Structure formats: structure tokens, C-alpha cells
A and B are shown apart, each in its own frame.
Chain A
Amino acid sequence: MTVEAQKLATAGAVGAGTATMVKDAFLAALLTFGLCFPVVLFHAESDNDGNLYLIPRPLLVAIMCGLVFVGRLSVSLYQARPKVDRPTVVAAPKPASLRYLNRYISLVGLVFLFAFPIVTLWWLGPAGSLKWINNYGVQILIYVMLGWGLNIVVGLAGLLDLGYVAFYAVGAYSYALLATTFGLSFWICLPLAGILSAFWGIILGFPVLRLRGDYLAIVTLAFGEIIRMILINWVPVTGGYAGIASIPKVTFFGIPFADAPGGFADTFGLEYSPIHRTIFLFYLILCLALLTNFVTMRLRRLPIGRAWEALREDEIACRSLGINTRNTKLTAFALGALFGGFAGSFFSVRQGFVSPESFTFIESATILAIVVLGGMGSQIGVALAAVVMIGGTEILREMEWTKQIFGAEFDPAQYRMLIFGMGMVIMMVLRPRGLVSTREPSIFLKEKKAVSGDLVKEGHG
């Protein structure tokens, strides 16, 4: 209560409107109580006989209401702070160095990425670095790749796809099935999985050509779910919920990563360690992600890429200028799906196991959130968003120290998706244009200027 008293005292110093602020904060706290009343105040737990009983948690509700009260009051105080007359900012021309800085950042990022496994290995040793390279490096890079793949569809062509995970699933199952039934190697399966996914991209893209915006989003969601349900129910082929296990693991161009004569470590005269495979996987996904980025950047400069962006801005204008919107949309779907398929086959070669559990709608929403939070159409933004979101959730998983504060049964990983959902909402409210809100134009007259994201109409087509 003393904190609130202090708040009140400072509020009094600010002067007018304090009473309203306190009233506001009080109302907010009251609202919180109303929201918390049944679901937070009482925890329904079932005993062994299946009878429910209630565990009251008044302290938790009191804390939540108090937090909302303080929070609401501080927001009001912050908004009511005396305004300092700032000189209006005249749009200063950006120094040329800034542009080089941009390029510099990507270069530094690249060097960092290539050095990352080696540096961590040298620093933490094989046992300590495994977690970093696998959980952070590989995991984040998969999502960077998926984000870049989806960015073609959503960011460039402006087609909101909520079922992207279907192509990821097609890629994963393609590799799993081809490798387990025909014994094909990863390097043959990778392009095949990509082609199959692209093929599905076209098949699913065809019916939705006429749809726009929200409707398109919902139909793609439906397709994604249909594919997942087929994976669940077509048991003879996909194994149903059990999935497909014992998929051949990745090999170093034919040399297996095994603790045996003829294995990777043996061939190169190294001491065997499981970290070799992880590092190889890291470079593999890094190259795949960079390939995605490279292809996207190049395509943006080709007529097809320009057509995508034109389509995103205005479909009718596009059509009247003679752009074949059907082919343009289908190529966007196919290419996005192609990279999704690559990522999928990487996923299954990494895990050695696929099941429909990995391809739920939440996964699609995650990838879409990465693209949106990064700033649709911005390659570097998408990569940043993937680092923040996936890295953030991984960090959350490791916050063991919170158990000391909140008690042993507190599991921070439980809050992963909660924070994630809240983050999506907050991001939309505060920065709807994403982390990186400027876009590089692919065509310009005399001088290359960054375009504000506000001038780009996403999701129109």
C-alpha cells in the first residue's frame, strides 16, 4: 500500500486531474476483479473420483488487481506529465553513412552466424555448447527460414496465408516417407520435398485465387487443418498420431555421424562427439535460410517480384495493366510452399521423427506472427522477429530461478504462449508496422530512399 500512497503523493504534486486518475485506476482494478472473479479466484481441481472441488486464491486476485491499479495510475501519470516543448523534427536527410551501416549490419550478422557454432564450441566445450547451437541456433534458424518463406506470400504478394504449416508438414512427411520407404538420401529428398510442397501450394492456391483478405486467410486456415487431419486419420501411410519414427538421420554427404569406423569423426580423425551433427545441421539450415533470402532478394528485382508487390498494392490496377494475376499469385504460393517444404524436410531429418502434433495451427500463427512482427516484406525484420520470439520462448523455458520466487510448481514455460499471444496484440496496438518499419524499394528514380511501412498496403490482395 505504501507504493500506492507514494504514487498518490506524486500524483498530488502533478495537480489537476489526480482524482480522475485515481478513479480511473480504481475502475480498472474493479474491472480486473470482475474479469478474475470466477476463473482466477477459484481453481477447479478434480479429485481421484472425478469430483470437482474449488481452491480459492484470493491473494492472487488481490495482487492482479493491485498491479492493474498501479499500472493504470502510472500510465495516466505518464500521459499527464508536463509537456516539454520539443522542436518539431524536420525530416532531416539521412546521412549516406546510415545506408552503409545497414549493409554493414547484415555483414556483421552473417559473420556472426557463421562463427557462432565454432565460437560457442571453443568457449563452452562440446557438452555446454550443444544446447546453444541446437536450441537457439538451429531452432531460431528454422523459424527464420519459415518466416522468409512465408514473407514471399504475405509480405511481398500480400496474400494472408494462415495455413503455411501445411507445406512445412508436406515437406516433413515427404522426406520421412521417401526416406523410410525408398531409402532415398536427404540430398535427393530435399528437392523432391520442395517440389511436392510447391505442387501442393499450387493445388491449394488454385481455388483461392478469387478470394481476398480475411476470407483468403480463413480458407488457407481450413486447408492447413484439413491436411493435418488427413495426416492424423490416414493411418496406413502417415501412422496417425504416432507419426513416423526412425527416419534416417542426416549424413555428411554420405558419411554418417556415428561413433563407428567410417563415421564422420573416424574419417576426419576427430574424437567422436554428437556435437558434430548439430554443427552440421546448423550450417545446413543456415545455408537453406540464406538460399531463401537470396532467392527472394533476387526475385524482387525480376518482373515476377515487381508483379507481387504491385499485386499487394492494388489488384485491380494490376489486372488493368495486363499483369496475369493468376500466375503471379500461384508463383507466390508455390515459392513460399517450396521453401516451407525445404524447411519441413530439414525438420524431419533433424528430429528423426514426425507426427501431426508438430503441425498445428499454433505453428502457422507463430510463423505469421514472426512475419508480421518483423514488418511484412522486410527480410531483416523477419529475422530479428524470429530471434526475439523463438529465442525469447527458449529463454523462458530456462528461467529456473523463477521457481525460487513463485514456488516449486511454477513452470515458466507454461507462460510461453500466454506472453506470445499478448505480445502479438501489444505489437499490433503499438507498432502495427513491425519492428522494422521501413522498406527497401526495389526500383527507384536517381536516389534510393527507404519507404515507410505506412505507405505499403499489406494484405489487400
Chain B
Amino acid sequence: MANFLQQLINGLTLGSIYGLIAIGYTMVFGIIGMVNFAHGDVFMLSAFIALIVFLILTKILGVTSLALAFVVVLIAGMTLTSLWNWTIERLAYRPLRGSFRLAPLISAIGMSIFLSNFVQVVQGPRNKPVPPMFNDIVHLNPGGAYDVTLQYKQIVIVVVTILLLAGFWWLVQRTALGRAQRACEQDRKMAALLGIDVDRTISITFVIGAALAAVAGVLYMMYYGVVNFADGFLPGVKAFTAAVLGGVGSLPGAVLGGLLIGLIEVMWSSYFSTDYKDVAAFSILAITLIFMPSGILGRPEIEKV
């Protein structure tokens, strides 16, 4: 039971990170029907951006307050990653609107290869050990046979995720921007006819997706304490799995899917074997797409002739 509780904590933490990335996938898929293959690498890039901004703050500017540094890193990471994703959308995806169906997917695969190798070239292929932060631990059952711990960083991750999701929910549900975004998702042509700047809305969608991925990147970097240029692929695929499991196009679904994938991965590693934990994620992806393509909360896709 104690072990289960521990895994539950770990799983929810990991799941929050996946959920944040998954929103980027699900929003882009919802609005332009494209699997943004490069999203995982945008996430990886954001972790690097965060790492370097953190180092600038602590080593060059001499900031000593960890909380201040964390907030600055978060904001800088979100801004710069958004800039990246905006540029990527502008250069690699926008010219392909109206091209044949697979063109954006292939372009995104190219972008994904480009990004991971770009980071490899500019930052080197080796793992970057991140300076530890928020290292305190809370013992949940002191004196018990199995020590259940809650790390401060896990609390930070969950709190940041909840705050962001609340802000994000407000943005999508309550603002004009969110309404435009939802309108474009339902019918792009009709939205354009009603005076919504579709291209701008799509750009903003990419920016929001990147900002959330950047938060995930900062949290990931902090949680695992190491970043590598190849770190984009697996979390990317798992987050995509989360988006599919929750129902592609559904925002609560993405978060739900992320939490589920995080839990499944952690439980699988704990109760079965760590060797096959990635196989579990890929199998869920395949099984969901084959048997339940609309996911848990997604709208079923209607086949039009």
C-alpha cells in the first residue's frame, strides 16, 4: 500500500509533465488536423533554454534566490520557446496549408530531426547535469516500514501545472482569443468568413502549445536533473499517446491522458519491469488508435463521403 502511494505520487508528477506537453499536440491537431511531430523536440529545446537561462542567472548575474530564479526561468523559457514554435510554424507548416495531406507531417518529421540535431550541434551530445534545486523531502509516514516520500519538486510540479492549467482553461473558455481558437477548431472556413484571422489564430495556438511545453521542459529538467538532445522523442511520443488516449482535440482529455500515461508508466515499472515500460506506452498508443480512435473524451470522427 505504501509502495502504491509512492508510485501514485510519482505517477501524478510525471503525468502532469506529459499532460502539459499533450495539450500542445491536441490543440494543434484540433485546429489544423496535423500531428505536430516536432513538438517533443520543442519540449526538449525548452529544457535546454531553461537550463541556460538558469545558469546565466546563477553564474553570471549572481542571483541567489532560488524562487526568483525559478520564476524568471519559467517566464524566459515560455517566451523564448514560444518564439521558436512561432518561427517553426511560420517557416515549416504555414506554407504547406492546402498542400497534400501528408506534407505537414513529413515537414514536421524533418523539423523534429532538425531541432534535435541543432541542439546536439550547438550544445554538444553529452548529458547536461542540472544543478539540483528544491531538494527537500517530506516523509509522509515516518516510522513506517516503507518510507513514502514527497519531494518538494514534486509539489512544485503539481502546483505549477494546476495553476497553468487554470489560467489556460480561462484563456480558452473565457476570452475572445479562446473563442476564436475554438471556432477555428470547429470549422476553419466558416470562422474565416466570420472575420476571424485564421492564420493568426493558428500561430497563437502554436505559441500557447509551446509555452505549455516550455513549462513542462523546465519541470522535466528540474525533476530529472539531466537534459540531453535526444530527450525529445520519447516524452514526445508518450505525450502524444496521452493526447490520443484522452481524445485528440479534447483539452481536458489531454490532461487526463497525461495523468493516466504517467501513472501507467510508473506502475508498470514498479510492478512489472522497467525494461518494457516504453513498450507499455507504445502499446497503449497502438491499442487506443486501433480500438478507440476517439479516445476517452474525444468526439467520434464522422466519415464524410
Contacts and interface: CB of A to CB of B under 8 A. Distances in A.
A418 B121 contact: yes
Which of A233, A369, A428 neighbours the largest number of chain B CB atoms within 10 Å of its CB?
A428
B129 A52 contact: yes
A222 B285 contact: yes
A39 B278 contact: no
Interface stretch (A82-90, A209-217, A337-345, A378-386): A209-217
B162 interface: no
Nearest to A364: B109
B83 interface: yes
A51 B59 CA distance: 11
Contact of A425 (B52, B92, B101, B286): B92
Interface stretch (A258-266, A438-446, A452-460): A452-460
B76 to A, nearest CB: 8
B84 A54 contact: no
B233 A418 contact: no
Contacts of A361: 233
Interface in A158-183: 160, 162
A239 B254 CA distance: 38
A415 to B, nearest CB: 7
B122 A43 contact: yes
A207 B283 CA distance: 12
Interface string B86-128: 0100011001100111111111011111111111111110101
A2 B105 CA distance: 41
Contacts of A418: 113-114, 117-118, 121
Interface in B284-304: 285-286, 289-290, 293
Interface stretch (B9-17, B43-51, B133-141): B43-51
B286 A428 contact: no
A258 B232 CA distance: 46
A38 B53 contact: yes
Given A44-B51, A214-B35, A50 B129 contact: yes
A65 interface: no
A128 interface: no
Interface stretch (A224-232, A273-281, A300-308, A326-334): A224-232
A39 B115 CA distance: 12
Interface in B251-305: 275-276, 278-279, 282-283, 285-286, 289-290, 293, 305
Contacts of B59: 53-54
Given A34-B80, A424-B106, A459-B100, A429 B92 contact: yes
A80 interface: no
Contacts of B60: 54
Contacts of B156: none
Interface string A113-148: 000000000000000000000000000000000000
Interface residues of B, number: 68
B210 interface: no
B69 interface: no
Nearest to A314: B305
A418 B106 CA distance: 15
A429 B95 contact: yes
Contact of A222 (B49, B275, B286): B286
Given A42-B55, A208-B290, A230-B279, A458 B102 contact: yes
Contact of B282 (A42, A213, A225, A423): A225
Nearest to A31: B87
B113 A44 contact: no
A361 B230 CA distance: 12
Nearest to B129: A50
B48 A425 contact: no
Nearest to B104: A428
Which of A34, A414, A418, A422 neighbours the largest number of chain B CB atoms within 10 Å of its CB?
A418
B106 A368 contact: yes
5 contacts: A218-B289, A362-B113, A421-B111, A421-B117, A428-B103
Interface of B: 33-35, 45, 48-49, 51-53, 55-56, 59-60, 76, 80, 83-84, 87, 91-92, 95-96, 99-107, 109-124, 126, 128-131, 233, 237, 240, 244, 275-276, 278-279, 282-283, 285-286, 289-290, 293, 305
Given A428-B110, A432-B103, 9 more contacts: A39-B45, A44-B48, A52-B130, A162-B109, A218-B240, A221-B237, A414-B120, A425-B92, A458-B102
The 8 closest A-B pairs by CB, nearest first: A424-B110, A421-B113, A421-B114, A459-B102, A428-B107, A38-B52, A418-B117, A425-B110
